[in-house]
Structure 1
Amino acid sequence: MTRKAVGFGEDDLRALAGARSFERGLGYLDAVSGLEVGEGSVTAVVHGTEAYEVELTLGGDDGPSGWCDCPYGQEGNFCKHCVAVGLTVLRRAKTIPRQQDAARARASGLEAWLTALSRDELLALVREQIAESRPLRRRLELRAAAARSDLGTVRDRILTLIDPRPFARYGYVEYADAPAYAQQVAEAADALRTLTADGRAAQAVGPAEEALRVLGETYEEIDDSDGVVGEAAAAVAEAHLEACRVARPDPERLAEWLARMVLDDSNDVTDLDPLDYADVLGQSGLARMRQTAAEALRRRPSDWTARYLMERLVKAEGDVDALVALHAQDLDPSGATHLCIAEELESAGRADEALAWAERGLRECAAQTHIDGRLVDHVCARYAKAGRADDVVAVRRDRFRVERSLDAYRQLRGAARSAACWEAERVAALAALREDARPDRGGRYGGPVLIDVLLDDGDLDAAWREAVGRADDRQWERLADLSRETRPAEALAVYRRLVDRSKEPTGDRAYERVARLLLAARDCHRALGTEDAFAVYLAGLRTELNRRRKLMSILDRYGL
């Protein structure tokens, strides 16, 4: 009944906030004041270190969501204050539908009242609001200037709306102020579109470019965690593109401006794609942009923005050889660039050349511990398709020799099984891993890969032999879990040892692990017929750790 009335329940709040914030929110129920119910949301003030404003949606298809101007909430989190407001709403769930009806009635009444006002009464009301609200006056001045084609005022008003300084109280726009600033940027985009619609597209191009320049220079000083400023800036970029398509500005000048925007790697507020302007730029504009990108690459060969621009232009022209040559100038040691070249050639129907480039990547990156796995997969897939199973095994074997990991072992195992040669390959692979696991080799964090692969193979007898003096706690726990039914006594000894090591850490995650280990130990005692011994052990452990109330509650929850 409660959930149906407001669109969410306690479980939804706990899932959004997490256990810690939900528990803390319970302590703020008496700090909620000024609860105001709208048609689909509620607002309130929660008094904590300061008075924080909270807005909470009342559910819907996407479930509830909340916003709070406390520091934690400004990072996009569903904080304890949101929890407190949500719980307060649930307490008052029976009255919420009536309050929503009242909110709808107020909105309807306002609409009816405004509709009934005469022209002079409406003008008086607007003038009154303009006198009291500077932001509203600026927005209406912009609309008026656009309507009468006062281009100087339009430009000034657009730049005023784009200016973030009024929102930058401490030198930058904080998360809480970003939505208001984004609204102004969106209004600037609307004004630019209005100019284009009114036949003034040529006059909209310049202000749009200046607005995008300002946004690019200041975006790093804006906390746009929710992306609202970015969305509004994208609307300005769309307005610029629309104006260019109508006005048809000088293509070479436009090309130079676009190139500057793309090549400025600090300007990431809009993801301008020069190819969106291809119909406006024409051949001369595209050629000028390619020339600009080439000049930038000559000056700074490692400039990724210039390389990205050049790649986009060359790819759009369909010149595969030029694209291959461009990629070949800066081959990544991971093999990622070789793969990119191979994929481009394959898409162009040049499969033999594509495979040659991929194989070259494997040779040139053979000594790298971490090669791009996609390149290895690419070559192996082509070999497998051609029936070259032995070559697939050779590639996987070479990678395993360099990268002694569980994943590399699994890849070798799969390839060797397909080629019916796994037994011989496994002997050699395990020998190499045993050599790595020698105590005098040192230098490895965690337990040896040897134990991981034995566990992955299901070779538990060998894993038990190799684990002594070598395995880490993670591997011991995995080994015990897999052996609980067949070796309950050995597994029990592992669980007891791990419980002893887990006594010191605190926190929900640590306590959950203790409970999991105890449940496993209880299963072992049951298999051994020594459940009374487990009861004595558990009682002693609870006595030892009884001051940790959260641990005790977690153990109670698991029936321990």
Structure 2
Amino acid sequence: MVQTPGRALLKSGAVTRFDVAVLRDAVGEKAFERGHAYHLDGRVEIIAIDEARVVARVVGTDVYRCEVKGQGRTLSGNCTCRAYGDWGSCKHMAATALAANSLEPAAAEHASSRLDKIRNHLRAKGVENLVEMILQLAEKDTKLFEQLGLSAELDTGDETTLLAGFKKAITDATRVRGYIEYRDMRDWTRSIDGVLDRISGLLEGGRASLVLELLDHFFARMDDALTKVDDSDGGGGACYVRACEIHVSACEKSGPDPIELARTLFAREVDSDSDFFFGASETYADILGEAGLAEYRKLATMAWQKVKSRRGRGAETRRAREYAIRTMLERFAERDNDIDAIIAIRSNDLSSAGDYLGIAQVCLDDGREQEALKWAEEGLWKFEDDPDRRLVLFACDLLGRNGRNEDVDRLLWRMFSREPSVELYQRLKSTARDRKQQSLVRDGALTVLNDRAAKSGPQTEWVWLRAADILVRVLMLEGLLADAWAAVGKHGCREDLMEELARASEPDLPAEALKAYAYLVERKVRMGGQANYGSAHALIKRMRRLDGAAQHSTYLADLMMRHKAKRNFIKLLTSKPS
């Protein structure tokens, strides 16, 4: 029998610091096995260990700093590798924890005192010797050299020298040569974070005005850089957000001219391809004050006057700049509680049914029900060839409140005929006044769905709810399970819906349920994978409750014979009673 790494460790006689089962679950089976291999290969060097944490250098593709915190069943940590940044765990954490578990008492004592020995050694060197040691290291490490240089400028340099030095650091950190792929982004953002750390230090040192000037340079560089990198995990954006937070703090401390600040923020909000300064008038409201907000509003109003009104289907797609300006003016109107101004702003762009719905909702929220209905009906008329479901339902609610039930029925049936859904069917049923009318609604809906299902073609995994699926669900809602199975036989349906129908059919139509379960088991086993095997096993257990013992045994024997090559599936079937 092959001994698992966890069992080997537990039998070694070593003191187990971390629970191996918890560790395996935390990092995943694959990462655990690879971490165990790293540990056995001697790739882990424990730098420090105490009751709270274990710190190690782990040699992999690169040399990584890994920290694992806690003990027993309590486990957390971090690592400088890319996998930790993506998943929050990695093989290096497993390797470090397993190395800590395997430490003998003497080795653990040595590791726990290692940092203290180094600390005492450095103290004994004296200041001059330490200075020389650090300078020698800095000559070999450009990032350390740059960091020490900037720190020295903070103590001795004038404003001009500091500005030049920090601008160079920003330029170097944000430089993109060609294109930065996803796998290289973490190193790039780590360098930027280091520069932001030092800029934040300037702020704490009372140089807020200098920080604002530096961040102007930073934002210009990042606006360009983010177009040349794969920022799928958002690391570059997170750096930008952090810089924005530093910018707000610097403005609070320096008290810049509110008019100039308003102009700067307005330009960033409307001209940037990103939305990091979106809503700046709100974020900086206290700093801008009345004068700055007035300037902001004036700039937005002047820009808005240049935006052409757009109505109807042929209007061009709204640009981000126009959306930003419109949103600014709406925020100012909301601050004044000026609903008419909001409606006027939104009326400038009525190129979609959703635009009409937005205005109608604003009216309704302000208690203007009839005005809301007017806007909704106008939107329905303008886009009658391509109705918006949300606008239809909104209008139906208001029409119902006003006793216009025939108009409600007309709109709902028209929408259901174009885009049937279970929700619309339930709305139609709810408007029926008696059982007779409910029957008419059911029959009419089933006719529409049967016609559409016949024309929709074969079922595909890429379509979520086609007419056949909706037909089956409506029949299930009506308790017509035999008809639902007939529809499945004629048009097909999604497998999750088939399983739901089978469960509902167990009491009254067990033969149909058994047939469906057998089909689904076969599908899942053929697809393979532990998740599919587990689902198939659960269905087989449901089948056992419906089937006779002898018949179920025959079914199982046949299933296991046909899929005997699927070892994990067979193991699952034989490990527990099925």
TM range (shorter): 0.7 to 0.9
Tell me the CA shift for residue 76 of structure 1.
0.5
SS of corresponding position for 1:469:
helix
8 A contact 1:406–1:453 mirrored in 2: yes
Query: Does the alignment pair 1:522 with 2:544?
Result: yes
Paired residue for 2:415? 399
Task: Quote the Cα distance in structure 2 between the aligned partners of 1:296 and 1:217.
Answer: 27
Query: Does the alignment pair 1:142 with 2:150?
Result: yes
CA pair 124-295 structure 1, distance change in 2 beyond 3 A: farther
SS of corresponding position for 1:437:
helix
SS of corresponding position for 1:404:
coil
Give the residue type in structure 1 aligned to 2:58. Answer: V
Query: Does the alignment pair 1:302 with 2:324?
Result: no
8 A contact 2:301–2:329 mirrored in 1: no
Query: Does the alignment pair 1:162 with 2:181?
Result: no
Query: Does the alignment pair 1:40 with 2:53?
Result: yes
Paired residue for 1:554? 572
8 A contact 2:356–2:379 mirrored in 1: yes
Give the residue type in structure 1 aligned to 2:492. Answer: A
Give the residue type in structure 2 aligned to 1:45. Answer: V
Tell me the CA shift for residue 156 of structure 1.
1.9
What does the per-residue CA deviation read over 1:491-545, in whole Å, with 9 as the maximum and x for residues that have no partner?
A: 22333344444553232343334323433332321xxx3x223223322322222
| Paired residues for 1:94-243 under 5 Å | 95=103, 127=135, 130-148=138-156, 150-164=158-172, 171-172=179-180, 174-194=184-204, 197-198=206-207, 201-224=208-231, 227-243=234-250
8 A contact 2:399–2:407 mirrored in 1: yes
Which runs of no fewer than 5 residues in structure 2 stay unpaired? 1-8, 310-315, 461-465
Give the residue type in structure 1 aligned to 2:194. Answer: Q
Task: Quote the Cα distance in structure 2 between the aligned partners of 1:410 and 1:277.
Answer: 47
SS of corresponding position for 2:43:
strand
SS of corresponding position for 2:420:
coil
8 A contact 1:32–1:44 mirrored in 2: no
Given the alignment, which residue of 436, 447, 452 partners 1:436?
Answer: 452
Given the alignment, which residue of 521, 531, 534 partners 1:512?
Answer: 534
Paired residue for 2:21? 10
Give the residue type in structure 1 aligned to 2:322. Answer: A
8 A contact 1:189–1:236 mirrored in 2: no
8 A contact 1:130–1:136 mirrored in 2: yes
**What is the identity percentage for the equivalent residue pairs of Structure 1 and Structure 2?**
23
Paired residue for 2:478? 457
Task: Quote the Cα distance in structure 1 between the aligned partners of 2:355 and 2:204.
Answer: 45
Paired residue for 2:296? 286
Tell me the CA shift for residue 349 of structure 1.
4.8
TM-score, scaled relative to structure 2: 0.76
Task: Quote the Cα distance in structure 1 between the aligned partners of 2:106 and 2:527.
Answer: 50
SS of corresponding position for 2:44:
strand
Query: Does the alignment pair 1:57 with 2:91?
Result: no
Task: Quote the Cα distance in structure 1 between the aligned partners of 2:138 and 2:38.
Answer: 39
Tell me the CA shift for residue 25 of structure 1.
6.5
SS of corresponding position for 1:486:
coil
| RMSD of aligned residue pairs (Cα, Å) | 4.4
More moved, 116-125 vs 132-141: 116-125
TM-score, scaled relative to structure 1: 0.78
Given the alignment, which residue of 502, 515, 518 partners 1:496?
Answer: 518
SS of corresponding position for 1:57:
strand
8 A contact 1:451–1:467 mirrored in 2: yes
SS of corresponding position for 1:449:
helix
Task: Quote the Cα distance in structure 2 between the aligned partners of 1:379 and 1:116.
Answer: 82
8 A contact 1:383–1:392 mirrored in 2: yes
8 A contact 2:476–2:484 mirrored in 1: yes
Task: Quote the Cα distance in structure 1 between the aligned partners of 2:416 and 2:329.
Answer: 39
Task: Quote the Cα distance in structure 1 between the aligned partners of 2:373 and 2:17.
Answer: 60
Task: Quote the Cα distance in structure 1 between the aligned partners of 2:196 and 2:408.
Answer: 55
8 A contact 2:429–2:438 mirrored in 1: yes
SS of corresponding position for 2:508:
coil
Given the alignment, which residue of 73, 87, 95 partners 1:77?
Answer: 87
Task: Quote the Cα distance in structure 2 between the aligned partners of 1:417 and 1:90.
Answer: 70
8 A contact 2:223–2:272 mirrored in 1: no
SS of corresponding position for 1:555:
helix
Given the alignment, which residue of 90, 93, 100 partners 2:101?
Answer: 93
8 A contact 1:54–1:85 mirrored in 2: no
8 A contact 1:324–1:341 mirrored in 2: yes
Tell me the CA shift for residue 451 of structure 1.
1.4
8 A contact 2:35–2:94 mirrored in 1: no
Tell me the CA shift for residue 209 of structure 1.
1.0
SS of corresponding position for 1:468:
helix
